Amino acid sequence: MIESHMRRPHFTRKGKIFMKIPLRPTHLLVNLTQLRRNVEAIRARVQPAKVLVMLKANAYGHGVEGVAPYIEPYVDYIGVAVLDEGVRLRELGITKPVLVAGGTLPEHVPYYLAYDLTLTVSHPAVLQAAAAAAESAGKQMKVHLKIDTGMERSGVRWYEAKALLQQSLRCRQLDIEGIYTHFANSETLESHETPKKWGYAYPSEQLARFHEVLSFYEKHSLPRPRLVHAANSGAILNLPESFFDMVRPGILFYGIYPDRGVLRSVQVAPAATWKSQVVYSKITQAGHPVSYGSLWVSDHAVRTVTVPCGYADGYFRRMTNQPKVIVNGKKYQQVGRICMDQFMVNLESDDADLGDEVILLGKAASGEQILPEDLAEWAGTNAYEVMTNISARVPRVFFQEEE
């Protein structure tokens, strides 16, 4: 196993190290081998299209410092959301192409040259700044043009894209390597019977708009950019006609489906297990409320245990009295207000000792399992927020399976 955080050694009075101890019983185990299997499954689905994996938001909470170096040989491209995430990848020694998909201000453009990052452009001012920076440095800069086909978030809108495409042709200092769009509702399966509603961005409509933009190149007898891409996780599962030259798996890469009802045309499995241990075990008497606000009380004596994890770790306070956890292979109910650093679990008449295993997310040897979707349901959110909110103070421990 490789731990992502350096562990402080335990010292004797003479200052000599005699053992290293983990500083927290709560940690996130990340199975790197499973991540590779997920990539292989995605590649088999989309070939011959290239695969760009999204490592934004600390690799969707999995820990970019362990995920990126391991997965780099198995992917063609890497995607991030913001500039400093791209810089971080270069600092980690990543050499594969890195696309920064988020918006960029003109004054930040020179950093793309300095760190050899691929710039997303959806505004004429940014394209102009990129051309000027590349000319000043005497270097080419890789650029992907972003087309908004119905997301209304970022990107030049499809019906206004022609001017930006024409401008890009005049920027000889730029390598217009790619052009792409993003689906707003790719998790939704469409059919001829799907009722149409006003104001809803259907994947088929977005795809048609993207093709309309791409026709610019054919109409002017021009080669289109080398990397045309559109498919996110939902589209990889549902929309094979959107694969083009490259796909961009995000949450699917981590083994999590973007929606419970999505077509499971790629078999993936979660790579992360969130574990802790019992740090206190006691009998709570009838009528004695548990935790802040006295939101839970039993009418009979029960054994409750304390788990050293709380909302500062990303175990949402709003889940109070809803989640289940796995203690020694069996599911039990969380009870009482979830605290910043701890929460309690009701074992009823079962027993547990100091140090016994607690699984907050993942699968136990017994077969019991808690999925990201379960935590999402209890928190009233989605699996994306669950994973990306596991805080930095939870150590990431990376391992590979023997095969």
Domains defined for the chain, CATH in brackets: 31-254 (3.20.20.10), 272-370 (2.40.37.10)
Element (H, E) at 132: helix 124-137
Residues 54, 86: contact at Cβ < 8 Å? no
SS3 label, residue 20: strand
* Mean pLDDT for the stretch of residues 140-150: 97
pLDDT of residue 193: 67
Helix (H, G, I), strand (E, B) or coil at 332: strand
DSSP letter at 185 equals S
Summary mean pLDDT of the chain: 93
Those residues with Cβ within 8 angstroms of residue 313's Cβ, 6 or more apart along the chain or in another chain: 26, 341, 390, 391, 393, 394
Long-range interactions of 187-190: CB distance < 8 A, separation 24+: 187/234, 187/237, 187/238, 187/258, 187/259, 187/261, 187/262, 188/234, 188/238, 189/238, 189/261, 189/262, 189/263, 190/238
Residue 19 has pLDDT above 90, yes or no: no
Active site residues: 56, 292
53: helix, coil or strand? strand
Distance CA 184, CA 187 (A): 9
Where does residue 52 rank: exposed (0-12), middle (13-18), buried (19+ CB within 10 A)? buried
Q: What are phi and psi of 226, to 5 degrees?
A: -65, -30
| pTM above threshold 0.75 | yes
Cα 369 to Cα 372: distance, rounded to the nearest angstrom: 10
What is the distance between the alpha carbons of residues 292 and 308, in angstroms, rounded to a whole number?
16
Q: What is the pLDDT of residues 285-337, one digit of tens each?
A: 999 999 999 999 999 999 999 999 999 999 999 999 999 999 999 999 999 99
pLDDT at 16 over 80: no
pLDDT of residue 197: 84
Question: What is d(CA 60, CA 56) in angstroms, rounded to the nearest whole number?
Answer: 6
Q: How far apart are CA 259 and CA 280, in angstroms?
A: 37
The backbone torsions φ and ψ at residue 157, rounded to the nearest 5 degrees and listed phi first, read -65, 145
Q: How far apart, in Å, are the Cα atoms of 376 and each of 29, 227, 380, 387?
A: 19, 34, 6, 9
